Structure 1
Amino acid sequence: FGAYSRPPSAFAAIYAKGGIPCRLVHGSVKHRLQWECLPEAVPFDPLLVTLAEGLRETKHPYTFVSKEGFKELLMVEGASEKAIPMLPRLVPVLKAALAHSDDEVFGRGLDALIQLSAVVGPSLNDHLKHLLTNLSRRLMDKKFREKITVALQNLEQYGGKATVAIIKSKIPTYCSI
């Protein structure tokens, strides 16, 4: 029997078919993304959700494309107006990345959560409860304690006063900044 080959993930299949309008450009030191059109002109729906799904990937180039693509899309002008209506679809995907057993996937999910929070601000508060469970689970892990604390502080900073009560309900040991 030959080696069992897993079918490509949804993200890998979409990327292979050219469904993601950017490509990886290999530099001698640093990789970057090259968009087929300006990121401002790219439709957020469904691309932002697809890139968020790619955060769970563990193979190159998918890991880089999903992380950088997600970040660059959220940096375009008017990103908050485009991202806020997509929160109900983005949150479960981010939650899956934060629940992943692979440390690098968790780290990418945490970075994406901070980036999303900076863009959508208090709009994320309604969905925060779903994400905090996975953060509280990893808070006891020494290698993530500081990064999660910084993430919680960022969530508080971008989400306003109401965020503190939401965080404390899931992570009672959290100290406000």
Structure 2
Amino acid sequence: MIIGKEFRKSLRRPMPSVPKRATPRVVPAFTIQALQKDVTIIPPPKAGAFVERPRKAPTQFRRFYIRGDFPIGTEFDTYGNKIAWKVEIEKLDYHHYLPMFFDGLCETVHPYKFFAQQGILDMLQHGGPKILPVIPQLIIPIKNALNTRNQEIVCTTLKVIQRLVISTDMVGEALVPYYRQILPIFNIFKNKNVNLGDRIDYTQMNQENVGDLIQETLEILEQYGGENAFINIKYMVPTYESCMLN
């Protein structure tokens, strides 16, 4: 038993050295272990905000097209292909057909992509007052298309939203209550622009630059959305500045 001076001397003795590890321990970031010595910190995973999220199941538009439920065909002329409608567009049931065509915005394969996009443009051009009552049924297809985060699909959907807003009166105001469903993706991609320095960006000429299209779409939504449009846009996209006040 050690007592007295010998005990006090033993307290002052250095601890036996611990042999160093051959390879440092791997620990996750932002933990207590990351503050220790001789460790390798694993960086946190990427958030994946811009990662594509394609739909796993086929679209409803594709199923109905394969079954032959749409009164459409292909017409060839000197300007290219276009849809040959088997009935007058003005006589179509917009509550039935327009949401189905909007569901086809997620398509990237021919001929589904062509028929969906061209069908939407034709129906918006000839729909008139029949478009406004269908707005609530179009929100989910628009949201699903934007949530794929596929740049081609997002650009196409933004162009369709612009055509939808100016297609007839009151559509812009009718979309204001649904900003919380469709504008979150706008906020994510708003600053996703292509910076090529002094080189030419041909995506601007083809309207395929996501950031520019989002800015144009937000300005159209504000112009046609009435007095409450800007405050609702600003709530969902804080970096947006009004085009009306300037």
TM-score over 0.5 (shorter chain): yes
Is 2:212 the partner of 1:162? no
Equivalent residue for 1:92? 140
Q: 1:9 to 1:170 in 2, by over 3 A?
A: closer
> Superposition pairs for residues 62-73 of structure 1, below 5 Å?
62-73=112-123
User: Could you tell me which of 123, 141, 145 is aligned with 2:192?
Assistant: 141
> After TM superposition, where is structure 1 displaced by more than 3 Å over at least 4 residues in a row?
6-9, 26-29
Are 2:83 and 1:33 equivalent residues in the alignment? yes
| More helix per residue | 1
Question: What residue identity is the alignment partner of 2:115?
Answer: V
**d(CA) in 2 for partners of 1:140, 1:26:** 40
The answer on whether the counterparts of 1:24 and 1:61 sit within 8 Å (CA) in structure 2 is no
Partner of 2:24: none
Number of aligned residue pairs: give it: 170
What residue number does 2:177 align with?
Answer: 126
Question: TM-score normalized by structure 1?
Answer: 0.88
Offset of residue 8 of structure 1: 5.0
**2:179 pairs with 1:113:** no
The farther-off stretch of 135-144 and 42-51 is 135-144
Between the aligned partners of 1:45 and 1:159, the Cα distance in structure 2 is 23
Q: Aligned partner of 1:151: which letter? A: T
Instruction: Please say if residues 74 and 83 of structure 2, whose CA atoms lie closer than 8 Å, have aligned partners that are also in contact.
Output: yes
CA displacement, residues 83-121 of structure 1 (integer Å, 9 cap, x when unaligned): 222222210110111111321111111112112222313
Query: Aligned-pair distance for 1:7?
Result: 7.6
Provide the rounded CA distance (Å) in 1 between the counterparts of 2:161 and 2:89.
20
Structure 1 gap ranges (5+): 1-5
Structure with max Cα Rg? 2
**Unmatched 5+ stretches in structure 2:** 1-55, 194-208
Tell me which amino acid in the other structure corresponds to 1:98: L
Distance in 1, matches of 2:225 and 2:121, equals 19
Q: Distance in 2 between matches of 1:34 and 1:24?
A: 5
Matches within 5 A, 1:51-66: 51-66=101-116
TM superposition score normalised by structure 2? 0.64
